[in-house]
Structure 1
Amino acid sequence: MDVAALSILRELGERGSVTAVARATHRSPSAISQQLKTLQRQLGAELVRRVGRGVELTDAGRALAASSVRIDTAIAEAETTWRAFQGGLSGRVEVALFASAAELLVPGLLDRMAAYPDVELHLVDLDVGQEEFAPRTADHDLVVGHRSDEVTSAQSAGLVVVPLLREPLDVALPLDHRLAALPTVTVADVIGEPWVGVPEGYPLDRVLRTMSLQSDVRAEVVHRTVHLPLIENLVATGHGVALLPRTSSSQRAPGRFLLKPLSDMRAGRRIEALLRPERAARGVVRLALDALVAEAGAPR
């Protein structure tokens, strides 16, 4: 079998169209189609079928695509072994992170990776809903994503998932808020306030929805943005309250806004590294992953 064609089969199953696979692999759609036709002719079986404007894999296609993951991983392991035998690891690693994780992790990550001058670290901004981080592993070596506590990790999607840290979520209040003197607040204390939130589907919004369900009161979100410093500014100037990650926001809170833990709900978000198995087998990717894990565990 053509190993490259098997990899294309896997990409097609994940991306859903020949055009998307061609774009991702820097080939023409006709070249992709020709490889798939050749593979089907060699095997004498239908591997792909058209569905609407896209395509999907048949049962046979899915079985071969799963085999492709193991083959690609074995090849990556062999390449890593050979590079180490030749005297060292070198190459490029692309790491995609959302903004507040980058703020926490990137300075220390760069310091740690400076010990490996032959490894080029390329950083990409990626701020999407929590369900969208796992699919982006198709395009980046390593994706740093986050999810609210109650959401299952992406391991069920066949990815390698490495926990980095858990950040408690606190309620941010203006300095002169009526609850300012309390050491903690309850969901009932704050759910009726105007909220400054993140887009729907993001981890902080999922927690706010859980608060609404727990109290049976719908939270009124008056502003939404992905930019945490803007949320902090809006809270500080009295435009609402917000859920904010404690570690990320505590350094900017003094003299501007208050962070109050919830006493009747365990609210938090989990920051994780997500990557495909064959990328995790690459030595240079493992170096970056180890550096991320070490930085996440550093005292703050």
Structure 2
Amino acid sequence: MDVNRLRVLRELADRGTVAATAQALSMTSSAVSQQLKILSREAGVTLLEPDGRCLRLTNAGQALVVRADDVVAALDRASAEMEAYRGSPRGRVRVAMFPSGAALLLPALLDALAGSGVDVQARDEDLPASAVPELLADYDVVLTHRDERAPDTSSPRVKAEPLMREPIDLILPPGHPLAGQDFVRAEQLADESWISVRGGFPVDDVLLSVAAATGVQPRVTMRINDFHVIEEVVAGGHGIALLARHAITSPRVVRLPLAGVRAARIYELAHRPAADRVPAVATVLQAFRDVAGLIED
């Protein structure tokens, strides 16, 4: 049964006549009568019967009015709740974040959103930027990362914005011959054994830049996506690695900047093109910007 016709039936029950119902609903009397006839056919029973020059509800009609009250009240409550969502940042926002980005930003993001009425449901997704369109099938916002020379992930169905730049540095074991320098040039690394992440991630893209600068293909002995494990392996003297600056936490490795190579990753926020018009999503996006703005290169 059509909800608008149920509203007409309720108005008739409240106002008593077709004419009064028509006036209240800004309809003609014939239009009201037509809607009531269609509703009766939809219900499969007689809802109205003549009462002199007027109409009155049958028992079935009275029963349907009670149910119509329930339906219309539920719709009105839903409409009011949606209006509240449109006017204020409330609701659930599903966020996917790459692990090291989550470690850096998520605690401060949650602090910034405390008391806002926005419920962030975050999950870590260790996937390259090329997976953003797939992730947006399940998430409202995706925090991804890419090499700073790579194009962003925007497309007709994906809106992406750069959030922050994070340098990628070299880490060495303390006893390494280069550990005492202030910086390292790419050509000094031609004969090293490398520990890298899987292909397609920004750290590995920078390693390709090192190869271009040295003319030597890096000798990658291990591929591990967990930065903590990479630090421990490097600290044990089993190779050297590139890591994002804010992800380097071990006191057992030496961190040095690379010279002569553009070595950084860009944090990027991605979402569907219309998603930032939803107040809750817009609030989360702005909180990301505010938190990232407090972090220095």
Query: Normalization by structure 2: what TM-score?
Result: 0.69
Residue 224 (structure 1) aligns with: 223
1:291 is matched with: 287
Q: Which residue of the partner structure matches residue 57 of structure 1?
A: none
Give the AA of the match of 1:290: Q
- Note the C-alpha offset of 1:214: 2.4
2:215, 2:80 → 1: CA distance? 56
Rg comparison, structure with higher value: 2
Check if 1:261 corresponds to 2:257.
yes
Given the superposition, is the C-alpha separation of residues 120 and 213 from structure 1 closer, same or farther in structure 2, using an over 3 Å criterion? same
Cα deviations by residue, 1:39-77 (Å, 9 ceiling, x for unpaired): xxxxxxxxxxxxxxxxxxxxxxxxxxxxxxxxxxxxxxx
Decide whether aligned partners of structure 1 residues 115 and 201 sit closer, same or farther in structure 2, where only a CA change above 3 A counts: same
1:83 aligns with 2:84: yes
Q: How far is 1:80 from its partner?
A: 11
On the 8 A contact 1:235/1:241 being kept in 2, the answer is yes
C-alpha RMSD of the superposition = 2.1
Q: Matched residue pairs, number? A: 218
What's the secondary structure of 1:133's corresponding residue? helix
Counterpart of 1:202 in structure 2 is: 201
Q: Which residue of 1 aligns with 2:275?
A: 279
Shift of 1:248: 2.1
Offset, 1:277: 1.1
Q: Shift in Å at residue 261 of structure 1? A: 0.8
Secondary structure at the aligned position of 1:177 is classed as coil
> Any conservation in 1 of the 2:147–2:202 contact (CA below 8 Å)?
yes
Corresponding position: 1:99 with 2:95: no
Give 3-state SS (helix, strand or coil) of 2:265's partner. strand
- Other-structure match for 1:112: 112
Q: CA deviation at 1:187?
A: 0.7
Matched residue, 1:243: 242
Shift of 1:158: 4.1
The aligned counterpart of 1:17 is none
User: Partners of 1:108 and 1:278 in 2: how far apart?
Assistant: 26
Rounded Cα–Cα distance in structure 1 between residues aligned with 2:89 and 2:98: 27
Q: Report the more deviating stretch, 158-167 or 233-242.
A: 158-167
- CA gap 1:80/1:274 in 2 versus in 1, 3 angstroms: farther
User: Structure 2: how far apart are the matches of 1:79 and 1:171?
Assistant: 55
Structure 2, unaligned runs of 5 or more: 1-78
Q: Distance in 2 between matches of 1:236 and 1:293?
A: 34
**CA–CA distance in structure 2, aligned partners of residues 124 and 195 of structure 1:** 30
CA contact (8 A) 1:97 1:143 kept: yes
Q: Does the 8 Å contact 1:130/1:203 carry over to 2?
A: no
Partner of 1:149: 148
Answer yes or no: is the 8 Å Cα contact 2:187–2:213 preserved in 1. no
Q: Equivalences for 1:113-192 in 2 at 5 Å?
A: 113-116=113-116, 118-192=117-191
Question: Alpha carbons of 1:134 and 1:80: their partners in 2 closer, same or farther (altered >3 Å)?
Answer: farther
SS at match of 2:259: coil
Q: What percentage of aligned pairs have identical amino acids?
A: 34
Asked whether the 8 Å contact 1:173–1:240 carries over to 2, the reply is yes
Equivalent-residue separation in structure 2 for 1:122 and 1:211 (angstroms): 38
Contact residue 97 and residue 143 of structure 2 kept, 8 A: yes
Residues 122/178 of structure 1: CA separation in 2 closer, same or farther (3 Å cut): same
* Contact 1:160–1:280 (Cα < 8 Å) also in 2: no
Name the CA distance, whole Å, in 1 between partners of 2:85 and 2:92.
15
Relative to structure 1, the CA distance from residue 236 to residue 79 in structure 2 (aligned partners, 3 Å threshold; closer, same or farther) is farther
SS of match in other structure, 2:200: coil
Alpha-carbon deviations, 1:110-166, whole Å to 9, x = none?
1011121x3211011101123223431222100000000111001245422122110
Change (3 A) 1:83 1:127: same
Match of 2:136, SS state, is helix
Distance 2:80 2:102 in 1: 30
Conserved? CA contact 2:85–2:91, under 8 Å? no
Counterpart of 1:138 in 2: which secondary structure? coil
Which segments of 5 or more consecutive residues in structure 1 lack a partner in the other structure?
1-77
Residue 82 of structure 1 deviates from its aligned partner by 3.2
**Alignment partner, residue 51 of structure 2:** none
- Say which SS state the counterpart of residue 154 (structure 1) adopts: coil
